[in-house]
Amino acid sequence: MNSVLMQIGDLAEAGEKMIERLRRKAFLPDSRKALNVRFGIAEAAHLLGCSTNRIRMAEDDGRLPPAPIENGRRLGYTMENLLTMRDVLDASPRRAPLDQAQIIAVQNFKGGVGKSTVTTHLAHYFAIQGYRVLVVDCDSQATTTTLFGFNPHFNITREETLYPYLSIDPTQTDLLYAVKKTPWPNVDLIPSNLELFDVEYELAAAGADGQAVLAARFRKLKQGLIDLSRHYDIVILDPPPALGTISLAVMQAANALLVPMAATTPDFCSTVQFLSMMDQVINQLVEAGIAVNYSFVRLICSKFDGNDPSHAMVRSIMEQTFGPALLPVPILDSAEISHAALRMMTVYELEKPIGTPKTHKRCKANLDEAMGQVEQLVRTGWGRVSPVREEELIHGA
């Protein structure tokens, strides 16, 4: 065997083993990720849009189970508790039966813009707000799959990805086979691994029939996601950061587009190229009879450092260029996000701050505000505004 190939293979194997070691260290004792975050009664009341008294009254009259207590003090509510409270107190934000599930593609052809970080934080934000979420990892690099606690090399087979559904010789007729439960009770995942890239090879090798096969795959992925979305409010797609078959299929299957971009000149230029390429591709798809329709297209500035003058300058250029299509609140570049990622987590999964409590609080508040912008777009598409909180009604009266 070629010595260079052997060297690359050895490096890949060493890296895969290290990822597994990190995963096991992060998820001890049983090497499976768990969700241990808890919510105090004040935070739970805020999320439900009610008063703490209403929660206590529901616990006192038996509509809700007693609050979890240890050594005489409340432990805080789990996500399962929170979902139960939403059902009992009629505080669920779920879409109405006639509302279309929002299928959001988080896409940019430029790597390093935080695409998978945005995907996972957006999924967990929506989960905490009470929505039913499906995340579909369409990228063979499988970063999103890893952040959900699965090792793509050791835990996921090709048959558990989109491959059996999208391959030239499919063995699955719908996507239910690929849906996996995650530590979040209201977030499911369709995982990915490196072998998903075989779809690209197969379609490239389809020869003269390639265009017809490609069009069929585009329509098939869209229909499969529409069928599956009946069980969810939000579907978030994480496509590869390149213009390939799977990326194009994802772009056509989505009904909304969120484009993360870092506040640097190369990222700005790359994003402009991405938008130009998307415009050309969408026109070609439409000409081929393949419909593409988005309820919203927005850009979000990621990894923004407010103390860096160059970031402020590039963000100003973004605002002048994209106007209202650029979401006003950027995602701040925070050590808390990086530290959480090292543990294969999002900030929403941390039981306690990794850095200082002030840094954690500032980071989480920024994420809530940034992700909340996307929630508003979804709710607007459903013809709804933000739910009015109980204390706001009282104050307004």
Tokens of 221: 């992925």
Q: 329: helix, coil or strand?
A: coil
At residue 227 the predicted structure's pLDDT band, cuts being 50, 70 and 90, is very high
- Amino acid type, 186: N
What gap in Å lies between CA 243 and CA 337, rounded to an integer? 28
At residue 390 the predicted structure's pLDDT band, cuts being 50, 70 and 90, is very low
The C-alpha torsion from 291 through 293 and 298 to 299, rounded to 10°, is 0
At residue 144 the predicted structure's pLDDT band, cuts being 50, 70 and 90, is very high
What gap in Å lies between CA 130 and CA 182, rounded to an integer? 15
Mean pLDDT value across the chain = 86
pLDDT at 343: 85
Q: Which residues of 331-351 are buried (b: 16+ CB within 10 A; e: fewer)?
A: bbbbebbebbbebbbbbbbbe
Q: What is the DSSP string of 181-243?
A: E-SSTTEEEE---GGGGHHHHHHHTTGGGHHHHHHHHHHHHHHHHHHHGGG-SEEEEE--SSS
Contacts of residue 345, defined as CB under 8 A and 6 or more positions apart, other chains included, come to 26, 147
pLDDT digits (tens, 9 = 90+) for 299-308: 999 889 988 9
Q: How far apart are the first and last CA of the chain?
A: 78
pLDDT at 255 over 60: yes
The phi and psi torsions of 332 (rounded to 5 degrees) equal -75, 145
For residue 41, give the nearest of 51, 31, 27 by alpha carbon.
Answer: 51
Helix (H) or strand (E) holding 70: strand 69-70
Note if the bond before 152 is cis, omega within 30 degrees: no
234-238: strand order across its sheet: 180-181, 187-190, 133-137, 234-238, 102-106, 256-262, 297-302
What gap in Å lies between CA 120 and CA 135, rounded to an integer? 8
The phi and psi torsions of 163 (rounded to 5 degrees) equal -55, -50
The mean pLDDT value for 17-33 works out to 61
pLDDT digits (tens, 9 = 90+) for 161-173: 999 999 888 999 9
Q: 258: helix, coil or strand?
A: strand
The mean pLDDT value for 350-365 works out to 92
- Say how many CA atoms lie within 13 Å of 156 toward its Cβ: 33
pTM for the structure as a whole: 0.89
What gap in Å lies between CA 234 and CA 274, rounded to an integer? 24
pLDDT digits (tens, 9 = 90+) for 40-74: 999 999 999 999 999 999 999 999 998 888 777 87
The mean pLDDT value for 150-175 works out to 91
Range with the lowest mean pLDDT among 171-185, 238-252, 306-320? 238-252
